[in-house]
Amino acid sequence: MFTHTIADMLTRIRNGYMAKKATVEVPYSKMKTEIANLLVKEGYVQAVEVKEAGVKKSLLINLKYHQGQAAINKITRISKSGRRIYKASDKLPYVLSGLGEAIISTSKGIMTAKAARKNKIGGEIICYVY
């Protein structure tokens, strides 16, 4: 059993883009669903749907391409299970001078660093996407 589920999800997305796949399948969890929906909202993936096969649920993530190029150049896990990275709202990073996004887990849910700064909420930095 894989214990770093968010890292596994990010790796499956990264590998899917490298292999030019149309969709990737990820085991379901509420946090993964929130992250995937945020990626849809920010325009990095096309769509997310929950697939139920009996008792087991999974997420189908439709990857997005622009003229054959992947919408995500890089997706990197920042806070890991062995070393959590927390930042206050005024210390949240700007990824590629604002061209990328940092995904943050806050007390108000999963959001981008831009939204967290606007709401003056700090939290755990999950990953960078650009």
Tokens coding 31: 């946090």
- Estimate to the nearest angstrom the gap between the alpha carbon of 106 and the chain centroid: 14
Residue-range domain boundaries for the chain? 5-70, 75-129
State in Å, rounded, how far the first CA of the chain is from the last one: 29
pTM value surpassing 0.85: yes
Tokens coding 37: 């929906």
CATH topology for the 5-70 domain? Ribosomal Protein S8; Chain: A, domain 1 (3.30.1370)
Note the pLDDT tens digit of each residue in 13-22. Answer: 999 999 999 9
Q: How far is CA 86 from CA 89, 96, 127, in A?
A: 10, 19, 12
Q: Which amino acid, residue 44?
A: Y
How far apart (Å, rounded) are the C-alpha atoms in residues 78 and 93? 11
Q: Round the average pLDDT of the chain to a whole number and report it.
A: 96
Helix/strand/coil for 120: coil
Which CATH number is 75-129 given?
A: 3.30.1490.10
Note the pLDDT tens digit of each residue in 76-130. Answer: 999 998 899 999 999 999 999 989 999 999 999 999 999 999 999 999 999 999 9
